Amino acid sequence: MLNRDIPICFQEVGSDQFLIVSTQIGNKSHPRTEVLVYCTSVTSVQEVQILTPWLNHIAGSGSWNFALEDCDRILRITAADVHPRRAIQLLQQHGFECRELED
């Protein structure tokens, strides 16, 4: 069961696959906004819900999303002043693998 207090939107991408998208895309007025992309071991909506308060704390609500249908289980953070290592540490502290994807 989903927690309706968590600001997550779902977009159907297949008959049994959903893309989890944020309710907004970053802070466009901030000149130092960056997009950080990570490969993770997060595989379910329930796992995303566990991480939601922590990701909201470091990046801001609506500034991150997971693409669980992707083979790399992508986490994207679009925010200012988030150190790339912080997200890696956060996911690892909760038992998930996480590494930054290079351009």
Query: For every one of its 103 residues, what pLDDT tens digit does the chain have, with 9 covering 90 and above?
Result: 344 444 444 444 454 444 444 434 444 454 467 899 999 999 999 999 999 999 999 999 889 999 999 999 999 999 878 888 999 999 999 999 999 987 6
3-class DSSP assignment, residue 51 = helix
Q: What's residue 86's pLDDT?
A: 93
For the entire predicted model, the pTM comes to: 0.69
Instruction: Work out the burial of residue 39: count CB atoms within 10 Å of its CB; fewer than 13 is exposed, 13-18 middle, 19 or more buried.
Output: middle
The pLDDT value given to residue 25: 41
pLDDT for position 32: 65
Pair of tokens at residue 95: 């038992």
What are the sequence ranges of the domains in the chain?
Answer: 38-103
**Which residue, among 87, 80, 84, has the nearest Cα to 55 in the 3D structure?**
87
**Helix (H), strand (E) at residue 38:** strand 34-40
- Taken as a whole, the chain contains a residue count of 103
- Predicted confidence at residue 102, as pLDDT, reads 79
